[in-house]
Amino acid sequence: MNLLLTGAAGGVATQIRPLLLERYGSVLLSDRVQPEALQDGETFVAADLGEPDQIDALMKQCDAIIHLGGVSVEAPWQPVLEANIAGLYNVYEAARVNKVQRIVFASSNHAVGFYPRDIVIDHEKPVRPDTRYGVSKAFGEALGGLYADKHGLRVFNIRIGNVADRPIDRRRMSIWLHPEDLVQLCAIGLEHPDVHFETVYGFSKCEPAWWDNRRATELGYQPKHRSSDFRDEVLAADPPPGPGDASEIYQGGTFVLEP
Ligand code: 15L
């Protein structure tokens, strides 16, 4: 497989690059700026999601993509529009033209961030974005559906929680995703023969769980890491919130408060 990782200089990519290299032997990396510490087997090509010619050139060199590129937090509309809406369209369109087989799309929990924490949601619930960023991720999921159904790309949307070595606070106890578990999900998206168009949640074994990830389980996902292993230290460092704090009612946390 000729694998392309976009957004390769970002925080999530930095955590999974060694694991991808181990599994796939070589990886083409792309971003606007060069990632640090390139290893044997990693090749970097600079590209801007807003430049269709640059994206087209990238797609000529790969047959599968993990797309982490774009704006990864709430931001003003213009950068969200340019990278996550128009830029993602450039990616899908170049993928279609160059007959790329598969795309793993880094969606986000913020596509569903306005669901309250006291209900468990699955992959069939309608989106409830908490931000412009979350709206762009919902758009990205839908764009993947179009290219899967109309053009036959195999698309795997992962609604990623928070990628880190450990849960960093009370909210992340429910949405934490260890890099190894993320790579396991990416591998399903890149390799599973039944993937046509799928949306799954990107979290490790978390408690309390807000997401029913049965579709990922059906496809073979078996997370190895458990947030409860960190419960005592995380809860001690992050005291319970006061009543009525909106950022504690909704799954998206402080994103729901962003103007
Ligand atoms: C995301 O979608 C962001 O990319 C990441 O930086 C975190 O903020 C994460 O959500 C989260 O909800 O913790």
Domains and CATH numbers, the chain: 3-257 (3.40.50.720)
Tell me, what's the pLDDT at 247?
85
Round to whole Å and give the CA distance between 117 and 141: 22
Q: Are 218 and 170 in contact (CB under 8 A)?
A: no
| Ligand 1 atom at shortest distance from the alpha carbon of 110 | 2
Q: How many Cβ atoms sit within 10 Å of the Cβ of residue 197?
A: 16
Token representation of residue 118: 């006291």
Q: How many Cβ atoms sit within 10 Å of the Cβ of residue 162?
A: 20
Q: With CA atoms as reference, report the closest residue to 33 among 63, 7, 4.
A: 7
- What is the whole-number distance in angstroms between the Cα of residue 91 and the centre of ligand 1? 22
CA 173 vs CA 158, 161, 169, 214: distances in Å:
18, 10, 7, 19
Pocket test for ligand 1, best of 68, 80, 110, 127 (most atoms within 8 A of CB): 110
- What is the whole-number distance in angstroms between the Cα of residue 161 and the centre of ligand 1? 6
Token representation of residue 145: 């559906």
Residues of the chain with pLDDT under 50: none
* Helix 11-24 / helix 179-191 crossing angle, nearest 10 deg: 60
Q: How many Cβ atoms sit within 10 Å of the Cβ of residue 158?
A: 25
Tell me, what's the pLDDT at 259?
97
φ and ψ of 159, to 5 deg: -80, 90
2 burial level (CB within 10 Å; 0-12, 13-18, 19+): middle
Query: What's the pLDDT tens digit per position in 57-81?
Result: 999 999 999 999 999 999 999 999 9
Tell me, what's the pLDDT at 119?
95
What residue ranges in 161-258 does DSSP mark as E strands? 162-163, 176-177, 197-202
The position carrying tokens 């497989």 is: 1
Could you give the angle at the alpha carbon of 128 between the alpha carbons of 122 and 129, nearest 5°? 120
| Ligand 1 atom at shortest distance from the alpha carbon of 172 | 13
DSSP for residue 239: P
Tell me, what's the pLDDT at 244?
77
Token representation of residue 214: 């049965």
Pocket test for ligand 1, best of 109, 169, 203 (most atoms within 8 A of CB): 109
DSSP string, 29-90: EEESSPPSS--TTEEEEE--TT-HHHHHHHHTT-SEEEE--S--S---HHHIIIIIIIHHHH
Round to whole Å and give the CA distance between 138 and 141: 5
| Ligand 1 atom at shortest distance from the alpha carbon of 137 | 2
DSSP for residue 180: H
- What is the whole-number distance in angstroms between the Cα of residue 220 and the centre of ligand 1? 25
Active site (catalytic) residues? 133
Residue located nearest, by CA, to atom 4 of ligand 1: 72
- What is the whole-number distance in angstroms between the Cα of residue 69 and the centre of ligand 1? 14
Predicted TM-score (pTM) of this structure:
0.98
Tell me, what's the pLDDT at 240?
84
Tell me, what's the pLDDT at 10?
98
Q: Which residues contact ligand 1 via a Cβ below 6 A?
A: 72-73, 108-110, 162
| Ligand 1 atom at shortest distance from the alpha carbon of 133 | 2
